[in-house]
Structure 1
Amino acid sequence: MKIKSLYLYVLLAAGVASCTESQFEDAYTDPSKLAETTVGKQFSGMIYSNREFVLPSYWNYFVIHRITNNRYNQAVGWVNVENQYVPGSAAITDRWNSYYNVLGQFREIEKVYNALREDEKADKRIYMITGAAFFYDYTQQVVDLHGDIPWTAAGMLSTNGGDYTKSYASYDNAEDIYTKMLDDLAGFADELNTIEIEPAVLTEFRTQDLINKGNIEKWKAYVNSLRLRMLTRVSGSSTFGARATAEINEILSNPATYPVVADNADNIQWDVFSLGTILPANTFQSGLEDWNGNIASKAIIDHMLENGDPRLPYVFEPGLEAEGEYLGLDPLMNATDQTELVATNTLSIYNRSTISRNQYFPGIIITASEVHFLAAEYYLKNNQAAMAKTHYEEAIKQSLAFYQYLRSISNNNETPAPEAPSDADMAAYLQEGAVSWDAAASAEAKLKLIAEQKWLHFNVVQPIENWSELRRLDLVELTFWTDQSNQQSLPPNRWIYPGSEATYNLPNYSVVQGEDNLTNKIFWAK
C-alpha cells in the first residue's frame, strides 16, 4: 500500500538540538534525525520538511516549474512540443506528496501541543500561531493549483493512533479552506499584538524559527501580508468580495496594529547562511539552467526593452553570441526554427550571477514589491487614485531594489554587476507609455499595468504566485502556440489530481472526479 497517497504518514519525531542561532545557521541540523520531540522541534521539522519548495531547488525548478508554471507564465521561452500544456505526472505527484508531508508534520505539532498542560500550552502558543501561518501559506499554493483538496481530515494517522480505517481523507471545498485560513489568520494578527512569551521560550523560538529567527515583528508582517495576498486573491468572488474589501481596508488603514511587508528589509524569506548544508550549493543552477530552462521569453524581453526597464540587466543577460543584444524566444515560431535559434546562443537568459548561480539566493516568501502591488489594486478599486499610484510606483522601485539586493549578495561574477540606475532613470521609466500610471486612461488600463508589473517582478522567482495572478486578473496579453494534436491545446486553468488519488483514495476522490479536468477554473479565477 502506498501510504503517502492516503495521507497516512507515520512521522518521525522532528526537531533540532538546542543550540545558538549562529551554530544552527552553520549546521542546519536535520530535525528528522533526532529521537525526542517537542512543539518547538516539530515546528522546525515542519519548516525543514518544506525546504526544497521554499529555497530554490533542482527538483522544484527542473521537474516541476520548468514544464509547467514557468511556461504557462511565459516567464521563459521553450521549444514547442506536443502535449506541452498537460502538467506531467511527476510534477503533480511530487508537489502533492510534498504538501501532505508538510501537512502531516503540522498535525504532529498539533498532537504534541494538545498533549500539554494548559499552562504549557500558553507558553508554547507562539509556535502554533507561526506554524499555522507557514502551513497556511503553503496550503494556499496547493489550493490555487488544484481547487478542492483533502484537508480537515488529512494527515491524521498518528493522531488516530495508527487506525487506517479512520484516516482516509475526504475533500474540503476550496472556498471553505480559504474561509478557515482567513478566519484563523485574522485571529493570529490580533493575538500577536498581545501575546506574552516567556524569556526561555523566546530564546528557544529564536533558535527553532528558520524563517524569521524569532522576530515577532516580522511574524506580524508575515501574517498580515499573507492575509492581504489571500484576501486579494478571492476579492473578485461573490463569496468573499465584501469581506475582502473590509479586511484589506482594516489592514492598510492600521499599519501600527496590522503591519505588512513595506520595504525589502522586511521581506519574508529563508536566508542562506552556510553553503551546502541544507541544500547542495549548485541546486538552483542545474534546476533552472538544465535543458535550456532559463531562456527568456519574447514577451518579457520585449516589454522590458521597449520601456527601458532598469531591472533588465539584473534579471537577464544577453546570449553568449548576441553581442550584447537582448532577444527572447517567440512562442509562435515553429519548433524547427526555435531549435535552430536556441543553438545559436543569441537568446537572452536569466542572469546567472543574480539568480541561478547565486548560491546565497534566499527562499522568497513575500516581498515588499508584491505587497505594494496588492495595496495599489485595493486603492484603485476603491477610487483612491492618488494612493493607488503611490503604491504602484513604490512597488516598481522596491522591485528594482530587490533585484539589486539579490545581485549584491551573490558570490558569482560570471555576469558583471550592472551599473546602478539613477533616480532619474527610474523616474523616466515610470513615465514610459506602457508603464505610466497617468497615461492609462481607465481603471481597467491601470489594473493592467499592475498585472504586467507583477508578472515582471515574479518572473521565475515566484512561479506559483505568478501563475495564480495571471489567471485571477487575465490582463497580461500572452499569445501561445496552439497544440492541435491534444485536446488541451492551450495552458490549463488548474492542475489535475495525481493518479494515486483514483487508485488509493477512490471513495473520496469520486466526489470531485467530475471536476477533475484541466479546463475547470479555481473559484477565484476571472
Structure 2
Amino acid sequence: MKIKSLYLYVVLAAGLASCAESQFEDAYTDPSKLAETTVGKQFSGMIYSNREFVLPSYWNYFVIHRITNNRYNQATGWVNEENQYVPGSAAINDRWNAYYNVLAQYREIEKVYNALSDAQKADQRIYMITAATFFYDYTQQVIDLHGDIPWSAAGMLSTNGGDYTQSYPAYDTAEGIYTKMLDDLKTFADELNSITVKDAVAAEFKTQDLINKGSIAKWKTYVNSLRLRMLTRVSASSAFSARAQSEIGSILSAPATYPVALTNAGNIQWDVYSLGTILPANTFQSGLEDWNGNIASKALIDHMVGNDDPRLEYVFEPGTAANGQYLGLDPMMNGTSQTELIATNTLSIYNRSTISRNQYFPGVIITASEVHLLAAEYYLKNGQAATAKAHYESAIKQSLAFYQNLRSLSNNGITPAPTPPTEADVAAYLAKTPVSWDAAASTQAKMTLIAEQKWIHFNVVQPIENWAELRRLDLVKLNFWTDQSNQQSLPPNRWVYPGSEATYNMPNYSAVQGEDNLTNKIFWDAN
C-alpha cells in the first residue's frame, strides 16, 4: 500500500528506527508486536528514539543548529552569505520528522497503557506521568519553533487500526497545546507528591528511565522546573499572564511541594556514564567544529572579556595564532573579509575539551542556572529586587560551577585546563553589574542583565531555549548584517512548516497556510 502522508510513514517507522540498534533490542520491542511489549519498554523506546536531540549529536548541530539557531542567537560567528536567514529545508524537515517519530512513540505508550486493566494502570501510572513530561518538554520546543502544529490527532494510525484515511492530523493552536500541557503538568506535580510505586515497578522503572534513573524526586524537579519555564515563556500573553503570575508564585513559595532545580545536583540531564555502551560516544566534535561551526561571535566574546567573566576560559579558547587574546567574528563584516580573518587562526573557538570533544558531555535539559534566572525575573517583576538579585547571583555561580563540572568530566585534554577563578574573581564579576538592583535603576535595565546571563549560559549548549528567550525578552541587542538579496533580510521570528505538509496534509495545512511565513511571531512573543 502506498503511504500518502509523511505522518503515516513516521507512525509506521517510529519503533523501527530504535530497533535498528541491535544492542537496544533486548530493552525495547517493536511496537507493532504489542503482545510482546510493555509500557516500560515503550517508555524507554520513546526516550531513546529522541537521543540525538538530547545528547549532543552531529546531525542536530551540523545540519540543524549551525545554520539556524546558533546564528540567530549569535552564539557563534559565521561567514555572511545570501539567503542565510531562511532556515534550510533539511534542518526543518529533520527536526519536524524527529518530533513526530517521538510523538508516534508516545501514542504507542498510550495504546499499550489503555489496554491494561484498571489495577495494572494504577501500577504503571508512573510511566505515563514521566513519559508525558518528557514528551511535553519536546513539544514545547517544536511549538516555539513553528507555532501551531498537528498534535491531538497526530500519530494515531496505529490507534486507528491502520486506517490512514482517518489519520490525517489537523492542527492544534499553540495556545491550546500550552494550556493542555500546563494543566497536565500541574496535575502531575501534585500527583507525584502522593504516588505509590510498587517495588517491582520501581525496580523496572529504574532500568527503563534513561533520564533520571528511576528517581521520583528528580522527576518532581523536572515537572516543576518545566512548569516554571513554560509559565514564564507565556507570561506576557494576555491569555496566560494571570495564570503564570499565580502558578509561578505557588511553585517558588512552596519548594517542598514543588521542588525545582536550584543546584547543579538537581539538574535534569541525560548523563553519559560510560563509553561503548548502547549509547554511542557523542558526535559533538564534528557537529560543532565542522565547517568552522564553533567560531565565537564578537558580541559574546566582547561581553565576557569586557566584564572579566570567570566562565570565559571554560567556554572558549583563543585562536592558535591569537597570542592568548580572545577575539570573536564581527557579523557586520562582509563575507570575504570574514573568510580571510578566519584563515588567520586568530579567532576564538568554543573550548574543545570542555564542550565539543568532551565525550561525557550530557544531554542538557534544565539546569539550576536557568531556574534561578526564571525566578529572578519573577521576583523582579513583582517588586522584590533584593530576592531577584539573590537569584541572579546564584544563577551566575551555578553557571560557573556547571561549566567547571563539564570540564572535570571531560576525557579530552587538547585545551589546557583553566585556572579556577577565586571567590574574589567571582565577586569582582558580580560587582561589575552596571545597574544597582536595590536602587532606582529601571526594571528593564535589570531584566537586561537577566537576559544577557541566559544568553551566556545557554550559548550553543541549549540553542532552542536560547533563541526562544532572546525573542521573548528582546533585550540582548545584537547587530546583524542585512541580506539585501532576500526578502528575509534579518533573522526570522519562527520556522516555516516543512514542504511535506503542503504535499501530504494539504486539507489541514490550508488552515494555517496564511500564517506560514518567517515574519509571523509565536503567540508568546509580545515584542
Q: In structure 2, what residue type is equivalent to 1:97?
A: N
Name the structure 2 match of 1:178: 178
- Taking the aligned partners of 2:448 and 2:360, their CA distance within structure 1 comes to 33
Partner secondary structure for residue 269 of structure 1:
strand
Structure 1 residues 60-82: Cα deviation after superposition (integer angstroms, max 9, x where no partner): 00000000000000000000000
Q: Quick one: which amino acid aligns to residue 5 of structure 1?
A: L
| Map 1:163-174 → 2, pairs under 5 A | 163-174=163-174
Aligned equivalents of 2:190, 2:328: Cα separation in 1:
47
Native 8 Å contact 1:11 1:105 kept in 2: no
Match of 2:365, SS state, is strand
Q: Secondary structure at the match of 2:364?
A: strand
The alpha carbon displacement at 1:10 in A equals: 1.9
Aligned twin of 1:402 = 402
Deviations 1:81-135 (A, max 9, x none): 0000000000000000000000000000000000000000000000000000000
Q: Could you tell which deviates more after superposition, 276-285 or 104-113?
A: 276-285
CA, structure 1 residues 4+60, in 2 after alignment: closer, same or farther (shift >3 Å)?
A: farther
The letter of the residue matching 1:522 is I
In structure 1, C-alpha distance between the alignment counterparts of 2:95 and 2:459, rounded to whole Å: 20
* Stretches of structure 2 lacking an aligned partner (at least 5 in a row): none
Cα distance change, pair 16–479 in 1 and its aligned pair in 2 (3 A): closer
Matches within 5 A, 1:34-433: 36-281=36-281, 283-433=283-433
Cα distance 1:89–1:30, how it changes in 2: closer, same or farther (>3 A)?
farther
**How far, CA to CA, are the matches of 1:395 and 1:459 in structure 2?**
15
Once residues 308 and 29 of structure 1 are traced to their aligned partners in structure 2, the CA distance between those partners, rounded to angstroms, is: 51
Q: Is the 8 A contact 1:298 1:331 kept in 2?
A: yes
Task: Give 1:275 shift.
Answer: 1.5
Q: Do 2:18 and 2:49's aligned partners in 1 also have CA atoms closer than 8 Å?
A: no
Query: Structure 2 vs 1, CA of residues 210 and 323 (structure 1 numbering), >3 Å: closer, same or farther?
Result: same
Amino acid at match of 2:259: P
SS, match of residue 155 in structure 2:
coil
Structure 1 residue 190 displacement after superposition: 0.2
Change (3 A) 1:318 1:134: same
Structure-2 separation of matches of 1:148 and 1:55 = 26
The separation in 1 between residues aligned to 2:92 and 2:423, in whole angstroms, is 44
Structure 1 residue 386: Cα displacement = 1.1
Residues of 1 paired with 2:25 and 2:372: CA distance? 33
Question: How far apart are the structure 2 equivalents of 1:4 and 1:97?
Answer: 12
Tell me the distance in 2 between the aligned counterparts of 1:280 and 1:330.
36
Give the number of aligned pairs.
Answer: 518
Cα gap change, 1:436 to 1:460, in 2 (>3 Å): farther
**What code does the residue aligned with 1:513 have?**
Q
Query: Matched residues in 2 for 1:422 and 1:325: separation?
Result: 21
**Amino acid of the structure 2 residue aligned with 1:6:** Y
* Paired residue secondary structure (2:285): helix
Deviation at 1:441, TM superposition (A): 1.5
Q: State the secondary structure of the residue aligned to 1:10.
A: helix
The answer to whether the Cα contact below 8 Å between 1:320 and 1:346 also exists between their aligned partners in 2 is yes
Q: Secondary structure at the match of 1:259?
A: coil
CA separation in 1, counterparts of 2:45 and 2:282? 23
Structure 1 counterpart SS, 2:390: helix
Separation in structure 1 between the aligned mates of residue 73 and residue 259 of structure 2, nearest angstrom: 30
Rounded Cα–Cα distance in structure 1 between residues aligned with 2:280 and 2:15: 24
Q: CA deviation at 1:165?
A: 1.0
Provide the secondary structure at the position in 2 that maps to 1:364: strand
Q: How far does residue 397 in structure 1 lie from its aligned partner after superposition?
A: 0.4
Equivalent residues of 2:43, 2:208 under 8 A apart: yes
Letter in 2 for 1:185: L
> What's the CA shift for 1:439?
7.8
Aligned-residue offset at 1:440:
7.9
Of 10, 13, 21, 2:12 maps to: 10
Distance in 1 separating the partners of 2:442 and 2:25: 51
Give the counterpart letter for 2:87 in structure 1.
P
AA aligned opposite 1:501: E
Distance 1:157 1:33, change over 3 A: closer
TM-score (norm 1): 0.96
Matched ranges for 1:459-474 at <5 A? 459-474=459-474
Question: Partner amino acid for 1:385?
Answer: A
Deviations 1:187-211 (A, max 9, x none): 0000000000111000000000000
Change in CA separation of 1:13 and 1:477 when aligned onto 2, cut-off 3 Å: closer
Specify the SS of the correspondent of 2:222. Answer: helix
Q: Which residue of 1 aligns with 2:493?
A: 493
Per the alignment, do residues 195 and 313 of structure 1 end up closer, same or farther by CA in structure 2, a change over 3 Å counting?
same
Alignment partner, residue 21 of structure 1: none
How far does residue 281 in structure 1 lie from its aligned partner after superposition?
2.3
Q: Give the superposition deviation at 1:39.
A: 0.3
Q: CA RMSD in A?
A: 1.8
Distance 2:273 2:89 in 1: 34
1:370-407 Cα deviation digits (max 9, x unpaired): 00000000000011111100001000100000000000
Shift of 1:311: 0.2
Q: CA deviation at 1:7?
A: 4.4
1:12–1:27 CA distance, 2 compared to 1 (3 A): closer
Q: Determine if contact 1:373/1:391 at 8 Å carries over to the other structure.
A: yes
Shift of 1:524: 0.4
Shift of 1:5: 1.8
Taking the aligned partners of 1:432 and 1:423, their CA distance within structure 2 comes to 14
Structure 2 counterpart of 1:480, one-letter code: F
Give per-residue Cα distances to partners, 1:411-470, cap 9 Å, x unaligned.
000111111111111010001144764588210000000000000000000000000000
Match for residue 20 of structure 1? Answer: none
Does residue 483 in structure 1 map to residue 483 in structure 2?
yes
Taking structure 2 as the reference length, what is the TM-score of the superposition? 0.96
Q: Higher mean Cα deviation, 28-37 or 466-475?
A: 28-37
Instruction: Measure the CA separation in 1 of the matches of 2:26 and 2:316.
Output: 35
Map of 1:31 onto structure 2: 28
Alignment identity in percent? 77
> What is the letter of the counterpart of residue 28 of structure 2?
P
- SS at structure 2 position matched to 1:6: helix
Structure 1 residues 356-379: Cα deviation after superposition (integer angstroms, max 9, x where no partner): 000000000000000000000000
